[in-house]
Amino acid sequence: MNKIAWVAAPALLLFLPGCIARTAANIVTAPVRAGSQVVDWSTTSQEEADRNYGRKMRKQEAREARERKKEEERRRRECRDAGYDNCG
């Protein structure tokens, strides 16, 4: 058992500084990563802006198409009510 400890202790000492350095680096860079995440959440990328604009335009076009259809139906109904046959 004592021999295993003598062999394992130097091996652990070789890996331990890397773990400590990595932990220290994570602690130091954590505020920067958190700040960049907040900025990412609070801003709109160009891709998001384009997607939102496209969605807005499709909704507007659909609304205008419904309004045109209603207006066309109203026009045909008034035409028929006026006595015309070809209100097509």
Tens-place pLDDT, residues 45-69: 889 999 999 999 999 999 999 999 9
Q: Is the pTM of this model over 0.75?
A: no
Structural domain containing residue 30: 1-82
Domain annotation covers residue 58: yes
Residues in the chain, pLDDT under 70 = 1-21, 24-25, 28
**Interatomic CA distance for residues 37 and 69, integer angstroms:** 47
Please tell me the predicted confidence (pLDDT) of residue 30: 73
Residues 6+ apart with CB under 8 A from 63: none
Residue 80 has a CB neighbour count (10 Å cut-off) of 11
Domain annotation covers residue 34: yes
In this structure, which amino acid lies at residue 22? R
Q: How buried is 13 (Cβ within 10 angstroms: 0-12 exposed, 13-18 middle, 19+ buried)? A: exposed
Domain annotation covers residue 88: no
∠ at Cα 52 (46, 54), nearest 5°? Answer: 100
